[in-house]
Amino acid sequence: MIAVYPGSFDPVTLGHVDIIGRAAKITNKLVVAVLKNSSKSPMFNVQERVETLREVCLGIRNVEIAAFDGLLVEYARSIGANAIIRGLRAVTDFEYEFQMALSNRMLDDNIETLFISTNAQYSYISSSVVKEIARLGGDFSQMVPKAAHIKLLQKMGSM
Ligand code: COA
């Protein structure tokens, strides 16, 4: 199975890393795909987010990092992926994720969305919370991989 794990990854968190590791075990190839034109205004540009993910996933043999824009199902088709991976942290994620999964199924019935539950220890983490703690000078080292921690500290220093 070739799968795509899409997201903003602004920045990648330990919750995302957990999902990537779990998804990589059950797929032949996993493409972690960074959304280029999100409605969110990102702290890191696409290039920076791709680079951080590459560093973080270096040791995982069947994982590739890419960027995409436009419709997710079209991107999935273009790389021969037949599955979309999404992480579920808590029941509150479900409604939004279910709506996306059904919309994507309406657009392409041959691409299945698979949900993986996040390790409970990361279920409270989100990229926005990480950025807020970073902006306010708090310790977020337990929430992100080392490469993202360094890049966030550098970004804070240059702001
Ligand atoms: N651990 C930690 N955090 C997690 C997580 C996990 N396992 N899973 C999700 N999150 C967090 C993210 O950090 C992010 O937090 P934030 O809102 O504070 O930034 C939030 O959950 C959701 O972000 P993400 O998973 O990156 O998804 P998204 O909602 O930004 O983007 C896409 C979702 C990219 C899949 C979707 O926008 C998309 O497909 N876009 C393309 C256009 C398209 O095809 N549209 C039609 C389909 S509906």
Instruction: Give, using CA atoms, the residue closest to atom 29 of ligand 1.
Output: 7
Which among 25, 40, 135, 146 is annotated as catalytic?
40
CA of 143 from ligand 1 middle (Å) equals 17
pLDDT band at 158 (very low <50, low <70, confident <90, very high): low
User: Which pTM does this prediction carry?
Assistant: 0.94
Query: Mind listing the pLDDT tens digit for each residue in 40-83?
Result: 789 999 999 999 999 999 989 999 999 999 999 999 999 999 99
**Given 86, 89, 131, 151, the catalytic residue:** 89
Those residues with Cβ within 8 angstroms of residue 100's Cβ, 6 or more apart along the chain or in another chain: 86, 113
Does residue 100 line the site of ligand 1, with CB under 6 A?
yes
Indicate whether residue 3 lines ligand 1 (CB < 6 A). Answer: no
Measured CA to CA, the distance from residue 23 to residue 20 in angstroms comes to 5
Q: What burial class does residue 117 get, using C-beta atoms within 10 Å of its C-beta: 0-12 exposed, 13-18 middle, 19+ buried?
A: middle
SS3 49: helix
